[in-house]
Structure 1
């Protein structure tokens, strides 16, 4: 399987999207996601490396896997400024270039909404996690409100075209359970900008591996 995925338009606009999101609350979401991480961490789909500044000192090393070359270059720049050691590698979630049972924590943020083979990616993350390790995620997911979900379905094709293959309507929690993860903690919320919800919904989870 190729290690590169090219989304040149999305890769150019995503830093601006991320900066806007960080100005409206996503920094706090990332800090919540990463609080309590420790040991060796693999970040799958690291993007620009926006999480790197928020890993706590208990983290010994972050191995960040990113297939998009433009985003990977930005991630390497962010890694050089991180307070914890970060190694950025090329690779895809469906075929991680990493050893079995070698990480304490796996992080997806936000990338499961873009992956074509979600079961394959989750199987890979389970393979590389140590027994008792945990997976955390911060993702776009389908709404539990019928009217909002209908709007998500309507916008999904355009969102995928402009957003590097992103999906608004995935049931990530169910996918985790089907992959053999036990869902321990999950929080769903609207991403609010100036008090108004913006598509899509996000949620965070910390399921331990069986």
Structure 2
């Protein structure tokens, strides 16, 4: 069984927090805005990181429960929560064991988190469990490149990348995993994005699926 202690990556978390503003300036701010535009009702954000999404929740959202396993990032998210335009509570937990009853939320948000969960099927099953019937899964993730050469390179570097980047797998086909988990993808945009200077453009997907 995956434990919360397995998600502690303090060195990576500190580095992630340091570059987050730069990544937003390079385009992630707009990606986050698109991800959350029009969200309504009770929201659970899985793997909330240091709270970069909080500013983008609109007036239709009544509450955000932000789940973050990493102690460093959760502390930063807790400090960020009071400045959010909607009520946000930051709680410990992880994607494979969400701290919620069944059908408790209108929206589940996963933002650059399904790359690093130990098991995408278990994480997505939990997302489906906590969603009300007809609820939304909002997703923004980097995924395996459709270019055969780049995809092979991502396959080759994944073992080392995973160790250096807090469990991140750059070669996951997350969109297909969402469909296999029983979600109906209703909107999806695939695009290249370079989070930092000198990094190649990585394939990202952004969209919405329903139970």
Q: Same fold (TM over 0.5)?
A: yes
CA root-mean-square deviation: 1.7
How many residue pairs align between the two structures? 209
Which residue of 2 is the match for residue 24 of structure 1?
Answer: 26
Instruction: Indicate the residue corresponding to 1:138 in structure 2.
Output: 140
Partner residue of 1:119 out of 113, 117, 121: 121
Q: Write out aligned runs for 1:191-206 (5 A).
A: 191-192=193-194, 198-206=200-208
Aligned to 1:148: 150
1:3-152 superposed matches below 5 A: 3-4=4-5, 5-152=7-154
Q: Which runs of 5+ in 1 are unaligned?
A: none
Query: Aligned with 1:101: secondary structure?
Result: coil
**CA–CA distance in 2 between the matches of 1:19 and 1:97?**
29
Unmatched 5+ stretches in structure 2: none
The separation in 1 between residues aligned to 2:64 and 2:196, in whole angstroms, is 34
Shift of 1:148: 1.6
- 1:48–1:71 contact (8 Å) kept in structure 2: yes
Please state how far the C-alpha of 1:33 moved relative to its aligned partner: 0.5
> What's the offset of the Cα at 1:201?
1.6
Shift of 1:193: 6.6
Q: How big is each residue's C-alpha offset from its partner over 1:16-62, in whole Å with a ceiling of 9 and x where there is no partner?
A: 23122112010000000000101000000000010001111110000
Indicate conservation of the 8 Å contact 2:194/2:201, yes or no.
no
The CA distance in 2 between the partners of 1:198 and 1:49, in whole Å, is 25
Secondary structure of the 1:91 match is: coil
Residues 175 and 205 of structure 2 are in contact (CA less than 8 Å); yes or no, is this contact kept in structure 1?
no
SS of the aligned residue for 1:207 comes to strand
Distance of 2:197 and 2:73 partners within structure 1: 30
C-alpha distance in structure 2 between counterparts of 1:2 and 1:144, whole Å: 33
The alpha carbon displacement at 1:173 in A equals: 1.0
Q: For 1:37-93, what per-residue CA distance to the aligned partner results, in whole angstroms no more than 9, with x for missing partners?
A: 010000000000100011111100000000000100001011111111001010011
Question: Do 2:194 and 2:202's aligned partners in 1 also have CA atoms closer than 8 Å?
Answer: no
Change (3 A) 1:158 1:19: farther
